[in-house]
């Protein structure tokens, strides 16, 4: 039986079809994929966040220092909020980067806007992460709105 497949052309100059081999293209591909994967996870994280903070109990009236302290005394909510912070910030930053690329036509404007965006995003991600992990639910000297598990002064 002979070959059913067609032999590759012999020409040495046949252009190779290269799919996302260059760094730039594969970065954009990863960014595209990340927008979709993070989106699916964010639906769960954000809807859960809104439901617990705004719908349960007294809703927004219940939110004070003690409320936050109560949540972050549990590793479950620490991880939840940390994941939500990182995914939402990276998703939002990448989304705004796309929008800047679309509308800011001058090279200088584009670069400036993206530099501001990246600095703001980095500051917020680092700040938020530090706050979640260095948080003290019973700070020394504080008296109001403490969670009930703090020792009475």
- Convert residues 77-106 into a mask of x (bound to ligand HEM by CB under 6 A) and - (unbound): -----------x--xx--xx-xx-------
Footprint of ligand HEM on residues 16-35 (CB under 6 A)? 32, 35
Q: Which does 48 bind (CB under 5 to 8 A by kind): ligand HEM, another protein, none?
A: none
Closest distance of CB 89 from ligand HEM, Å:
7
3-state SS, the chain, equals CCCCCCCCCCCCCCCCCCCCCCHHHHHHHHHHHHHHHHHHHHHHHHHHHHHHHHHCCCHHHHCCHHHHHHHHCCHHHHHHHHHHHHHHHHHHHHHHHHHHHHHCCCHHHHHHHHHHHHHHHHHHHHHHHHHHHHCCCCCCCCCCCCCCCCCCC
* Between 46 and 120, CB nearer to ligand HEM: 46
Q: Which does 139 bind (CB under 5 to 8 A by kind): ligand HEM, another protein, none?
A: another protein
């Amino acid at each position: 039986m002979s070959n059913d497949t067609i032999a590759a052309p012999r020409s040495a100059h046949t252009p190779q079809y290269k799919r996302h081999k260059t760094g730039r293209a594969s970065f954009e591909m990863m960014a595209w994929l990340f927008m979709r994967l993070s989106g699916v996870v964010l639906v769960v994280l954000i809807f859960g966040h809104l439901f617990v903070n705004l719908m349960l109990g007294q809703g927004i009236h219940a939110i004070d220092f003690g409320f936050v302290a109560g949540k972050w005394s549990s590793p479950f909510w620490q991880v939840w909020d940390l994941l939500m912070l990182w995914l939402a910030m990276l998703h939002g930053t990448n989304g705004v980067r796309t929008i800047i690329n679309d509308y800011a036509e001058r090279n200088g404007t584009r670069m400036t806007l993206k530099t501001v965006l990246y600095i703001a995003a980095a500051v917020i991600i680092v700040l938020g992460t530090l706050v979640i992990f260095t948080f003290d639910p019973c700070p020394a000297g504080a008296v109001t709105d403490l969670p009930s598990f703090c020792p009475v002064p």
